[in-house]
Amino acid sequence: MTVLDSAPSITRRLVLRGAGSITLASLGIVAMPLPGALATANDKYPEDAFKQKNDKEAIKLLYGRTAEASDKIKLDAPEIAENGAVVPISVSTSLADVTSVAFVVPENPNVLAAYYKIPQGTLPNIANRLKMAKTTNVIVLVEAGGKLYSATKEVKVTVGGCGG
Amino acid sequence: MASSIRVRAIANGDVTEVQTLIQHPMDSGFIKTDKGDFIPAHYITELTFEHNGKPVFIADWGTAVSKDPYVKFAFKGAAKGDDLKVSWIDNKGESDAATFKVQ
Amino acid sequence: MAAHIGRVGRISVRWLSIPVVLLLATTCAATADGTDPVREARAFRDYFIQKFPNVKLDDFVNGPYSLNEDMRRQWEEKEQFPPYEFSLETGKELFAKPFANGKHYADCFPDSGIGVRQTYPQFDMKSGKVVTLELALNQCREANGEKPISYTGEDMAALTAYMAFTSRGKPFDIKIPDDPRALEAYENGKRYFYTRRGQLNFSCATCHVQNPGERLRAEVLAPALGILNAMPIYRSEWGGMGTVSRRFITCNSQVRRVPLEPQAEEYRDLEYFLSYVANGLPISGPGSRP
What average pLDDT score do residues B70-93 get? 97
Just give the CATH number of A66-155. 2.60.40.2470
On whether any CB of chain A is under 8 Å from the CB of B5, the answer is no
Is there a contact between A102 and A10 (Cβ–Cβ < 8 Å)? no
As a whole number of angstroms, the distance between CA C256 and CA A114 comes to 39
Set of chain A residues whose Cβ sits within 8 Å of the Cβ of C290: 82-83, 160, 162
Comparing C-alpha atoms, which of C256, B30, B40, B5 is closest to residue A85?
B30
Is the per-residue pLDDT at A9 higher than 80? no
User: What tens digit of pLDDT does each residue of C173-183 get?
Assistant: 999 999 999 99
User: Residue B76 has what pLDDT?
Assistant: 97
User: What tens digit of pLDDT does each residue of A46-104 get?
Assistant: 999 999 999 999 999 999 999 999 999 999 999 999 999 999 999 999 999 999 999 99
pLDDT band of residue B99 (cuts 50, 70, 90) is very high
As a whole number of angstroms, the distance between CA C85 and CA C91 comes to 10
- In eight-state DSSP terms, residue B58 is E
Is the per-residue pLDDT at C8 higher than 70? no
Query: Using CB atoms, which residue from B66, B70, B76 is nearest to A121?
Result: B76
Tell me the count of B-C CB pairs closer than 8 A.
22
Sign of the CA dihedral A145, A150, A151, A154?
positive
User: Can you give the pTM of this predicted structure?
Assistant: 0.83
Question: What is the number of other CB atoms lying within 10 angstroms of the CB of residue C140?
Answer: 21
Is the per-residue pLDDT at C27 higher than 80? no
Amino acid in the structure at residue A112: L
User: Is C14 within a domain?
Assistant: no
Average confidence score pLDDT of chain C: 90
User: Residue A163 has what pLDDT?
Assistant: 40
User: Residue C99 has what pLDDT?
Assistant: 98
pLDDT band of residue C245 (cuts 50, 70, 90) is very high
Query: Using CB atoms, which residue from A117, A119, A131 is nearest to B66?
Result: A131
Domain map of chain A by residue range?
A: 66-155
User: Residue C218 has what pLDDT?
Assistant: 74
Contact A129 B65 (CB under 8 A): yes
User: Is C276 within a domain?
Assistant: yes
Please give the tally of structural domains in chain C: 1
User: Residue C113 has what pLDDT?
Assistant: 97
What proportion of chain B, given as a percentage, has pLDDT over 70? 99
Hey, which residues 63-92 in chain A have their CB within 8 Å of chain C? 78-83, 85-88, 90
User: Residue C36 has what pLDDT?
Assistant: 93
Catalytic position from the list C28, C108, C204, C251: C251
On whether any CB of chain A is under 8 Å from the CB of B32, the answer is no
What CATH number does residue C96 fall under? 1.10.760.10
Is there a contact between C160 and C120 (Cβ–Cβ < 8 Å)? no
Domain extent for C228: 61-290
What average pLDDT score do residues C118-122 get? 98
Measured CA distances, A1 to A50, C165, C172 (Å) = 12, 48, 59
Is the per-residue pLDDT at C74 higher than 90? yes
- Candidates A75, A126, A162: best to mutate against C (most CBs of C within 10 A) is A162
- pLDDT, greater one: C31 or C235: C235
What average pLDDT score do residues A8-30 get? 39
Average confidence score pLDDT of chain A: 79
User: Residue C34 has what pLDDT?
Assistant: 64
Contact B67 C80 (CB under 8 A): no
Paired sense of beta strands B70-76 and A126-130, if any: antiparallel
User: Residue B32 has what pLDDT?
Assistant: 86
Q: How far is CA A102 from the centre of its chain?
A: 2
What average pLDDT score do residues C247-269 get? 96
Query: Using CB atoms, which residue from B6, B19, B68 is nearest to C80?
Result: B19
Tell me the count of A-B CB pairs closer than 8 A.
101
Is the per-residue pLDDT at B11 higher than 70? yes
Query: Using CB atoms, which residue from C217, C236, C251 is nearest to A158?
Result: C217
CA angle C218, C221, C226 (to 5 degrees): 145
- pLDDT, greater one: C6 or C128: C128
3-state class of A73 per DSSP? strand
- C251 among known catalytic residues: yes
Q: How far is CA A144 from the centre of its chain?
A: 10
pLDDT band of residue A12 (cuts 50, 70, 90) is very low
Determine the length of chain A.
164
User: Residue A44 has what pLDDT?
Assistant: 87
- pLDDT, greater one: C29 or C201: C201
User: Residue A42 has what pLDDT?
Assistant: 55
Report domain B5-101's class: mainly beta
